Structures are given as C-alpha cells and as structure tokens.
Structure 1
C-alpha cells in the first residue's frame, strides 16, 4: 500500500508536491474530522495545542534560550486559534503578562483561518501593531494574524516561525521566515488521500515535521 505523499514507480519513491489548502478546503477537512471521524472540537484543540508546543521546543530548545529564567508570551484571540494558543501555553507552562523585552519568544495565536483581514477591528488592530514591533522571535500558529488564509498579506506581521495545523494553507507559500513546520500526523489516511495532502513523512514518534 502506498503511503500518503508518495508514488512507487519501478521500486523508487516519487515525492508528490505538498498540498496548500484554501479556506474552503481547510474548513472541509475540519468538518470531516468532526462529523465522519467523530473527533471532538476540544480534542482537536488539545491535539493542535500539544503539537504547537512541540514545534516551539523543536525550533527553540530550552538550552538555546539565553536567559537564566527563559520566558515566552502567548498572545491569544477569542476564536479557535486563541483556544489552541491557550492549550499550547498550558503545555509550555507559560504565565502570560504584557509584552516586554523580558520575553525570549512570542507566540501569535490571535487570529486564524476564520478571520477576514478587511474586518479586523480593535483590540486586534492594536495587538497586531504591537506584534509588528517586537524584537523577540515570533511564532505564528496556522495563519499569521492579519493575513488572508489564501492570499497572505504584505502589511501583516512577519513571523520567524510558522506552525501549520493539519496541512499548510495557501498563504504559507508567502511565508518568508526561518522555519515552517506542519502538525498533521493525526490525520486519518482516508482524509489525507481524499484531499491529496501529500504530507511529508514524520520521524519516529514526532507529531510535527519541518518543511
């Protein structure tokens, strides 16, 4: 049986291009997980939050942080991405305060797939303005806040790291940061095949993989 993302041709493995999802496709995958495979909404949030925490520690191991008491800030919105950010923060054992130079890392979990950049209002406008100015490394979950899920944004924030949930969204083709990771190992094979995701292979027991 062929694995997702691979074709077997004359005994050799042929890698297929990774699929970048539109908003409609991302919503369809989540609907399928909830209705056909009976995942719970909170279960998905917990899975993604844990995977995001693993992605953060993969890119920024504790030993790489410069201060005696490493700290990071998770900035959460009110929708699903914010809930994922809170789960991520819990796994990272973070106590959230105001943004300052005391933080080694900042995680952007403010807005997600459901957000329309043309309709962003306060307090998000001020939060995004602050995120654009920080000097600490910035990690965005799934879709950088302020970006359109399909077209991206030339005026939005510029994260150093992007963690795509399930599969990369189309806006990820415009990501110019240092590290892009995918957290989608839990996706059933039938879902991967139906949407032709062509996800990369995960190493060992890792729940995230670097692109």
Structure 2
C-alpha cells in the first residue's frame, strides 16, 4: 500500500478535538491557524489554475472560521497576481474578522453586494467556496441555501461556447455532510477540494479533478494520538496534492474480462463505479465524452462528399459527433453544457435520442450510454 492509499480521514468529532488541542496546550491561536489555512488554499489554487488563464476569482465567505479562511486566501491570491472579489453577506463582528476585511479593503479588493449573486457568476473564472466548515450542522439558511443550489447547477447555466467557473471548496464542499458527503444530492460539486489538517470523511466521496491537503502544522503528538497518516509536503510547499488515488484503489486497472455477475443491476451505480475507476487511475479528462446525435430522419449530418473533405466537415461543424464535458450525472440523466441554437440542440429537439461514448484508454474500456 503506497502513501496516498493510506491517508487518514477524520470524523467531525476528531476534527473538533484536534482543533481544541492545537488552540489549547499546543499554543496555536485561531488567527494563526486561519492564516496558515488560507495560505494553503491560495497555494493549491495557484498550483493548478494559473492567473494568466484564471484571473478573476470570487471568494464566497460564510460567517464562521471557514469564511475567515476564505478571506485570508483572497488576500494571498491578490498578492499572487489574481483579481479576487469577496461576497460576505453575514459578517462576523469579532475583531479578527473585521481585521481581515480591513486588510482586503486596504488592497482595494472589492466586496460584492448581497443582491448581485448568482448573476455575478458569469464574471469569474474561479469560485472559492468558503461557506461552511466541518463544525456546521443542520440545513443552510438564506442567503446561502439558494446560493449553494445555484453553485450545484452552475455548469448547466452556461452557453456551449463559454466555460463555467471552476469551483474550489475549502475543507468541506458546501451542502455536504462532514462525514456522509453530499447525501441530499443538492450540494456543491467542486472541481477542487482543499482539505485542511487532514481530509474529513466526506472527502472519500469527492470525485472532482483535484484534491489537495493544506495545513502543514500538525505536531507529532497529534499525529500519534489520532494515528494520522498524512502525506509529506514537498520542499517548502504549503499544500500537497493527494488526488483521488487515495480514495479508490483499483486493484486491476486493466481487467481481463467483464463478468455479468460483477455488474451492478443499477446502470447509474455501475457507471459511477467505472467513472470513479477512471478518475482514480489519474486518467486525463475522464469526464470527456463523445456526444452523437442525428436529425429527424435518423441520419447523421455529414455531407455525402469525398472522404478527403471529412476533416473540413469537422472544422465547420457539419458532423453529428462532438466532444463535450460531463458536468453531472444522477438518476435523471447525464448533464453537459449546450447551446439550444447549436446543431446538436436542433437535432435533439427534432430527434430526442443521443449516445454518449466515454473512452478510458488506461482501463481498456469504452462506456457507451444511450440517452432518450
């Protein structure tokens, strides 16, 4: 078993106990831990999303410590060359949080009004979800409940030619249970999760593209007390990528054959298992899929001309197959971004049937899904 496969996950109670230890006998202060956490989050963002391509950042801050982590991350992102903006509707009146706000205001980092979201999503490349941490219990209340729903369905609201913002969740994706994950199915679906101190149990169900760990401050006594197995931080880094290979171990990445007895009766459950396998192997773009449609006569739209012109047909969009990105899958079906005025939009309107093909070369597997 390698280091990533043996990483520890914390329960809600264990996470709270470790925080109490750190801020008790071990001498850490809340502002010190918040500073280290926010720096870790900003460092993880900078590892993947370069400011030359993902410059505009919206940091959504909740009223507690998770929101404070977001405020600190925004300050560091500003110094890293990004252009952060803050949405902070429920400000905590404590001096620590007021000071974090003052620091951002001194850098001319804008604070967005409460009424301007989620309409403002369109203006950003990255959304940092710093709403609720591991201590949150119950159901989100306004204005966060509607906001979480908007983030959960974010990609479906974007036209085909425009990429949706990537979502980076701080420690716990908003709308998730700290141990059970997104048990309602309505929580945030982040592209990146930055776990702090140690991953919480909900991180086992995270299937986004990037998983980082931050919080390079856990003393040996805490490691021993809770038998924590954590990865080593490289060099002077404040974060370390732990990916998804620590969550799902693929014993045989290239199965010799498929047996009917091993196939789930529920096709959605079977697809999710195969998709998790593809993510766990580190396969590039496992969510890329070929979408094929046909017109009302059931025919593809490639003109009957010489084969040498086929490439030209692809370039000008006359073919009936194209690559799209899977944004969501549940029992209602598969979701991808599309423009209703596009060729595939017209074809699906005329002939509401399509097929999706996932090609996972590392697994020697192709997954064909027929959608009606």
- TM normalised by structure 1 equals 0.87
Name the CA distance, whole Å, in 2 between partners of 1:152 and 1:121.
19
Q: CA deviation at 1:59?
A: 1.6
Q: Any idea what the Cα deviations from partners look like across 1:105-124, whole Å, max 9, x if unmatched? A: 000001111112x4322111
* SS of residue in 2 equivalent to 1:62: coil
CA gap of 1:180–1:14, structure 2 versus 1, over 3 A, is: closer
The equivalent residue for 2:122 is 101
Between 189-198 and 138-147, report the one with greater CA deviation.
Answer: 189-198
Q: CA deviation at 1:56?
A: 0.8
The equivalent residue for 1:6 is none
Name the CA distance, whole Å, in 2 between partners of 1:14 and 1:60.
27
Between 154-163 and 166-175, report the one with greater CA deviation.
Answer: 154-163
- TM normalised by structure 2 equals 0.50
- Aligned pairs for 1:15-164 (under 5 A) are 15=3, 17-65=6-54, 70-93=55-78, 94-96=84-86, 97=112, 98=117, 99-116=120-137, 118-134=138-154, 135-153=164-182, 154-164=185-195
* SS of residue in 1 equivalent to 2:73: helix
Name the CA distance, whole Å, in 1 between partners of 2:169 and 2:129.
5
- Find the structure with the greater CA-based Rg: 2
Q: Any idea what the Cα deviations from partners look like across 1:57-114, whole Å, max 9, x if unmatched? A: 112122343xxxx211000010110011011111112233343312110000011111
Name the CA distance, whole Å, in 1 between partners of 2:202 and 2:121.
29
* SS of residue in 2 equivalent to 1:122: coil
Name the CA distance, whole Å, in 2 between partners of 1:184 and 1:91.
15
Between 127-136 and 80-89, report the one with greater CA deviation.
Answer: 127-136
* SS of residue in 1 equivalent to 2:169: strand
Give the CA RMSD over aligned residues. Answer: 1.6
For the 8 Å contact 2:149–2:186, the answer to whether it is kept is: no
For the 8 Å contact 2:36–2:215, the answer to whether it is kept is: no
Question: How many residues align structurally?
Answer: 194
Larger relative contact order, structure 1 or 2 (CA cutoff 8 Å, min sep 6): 1
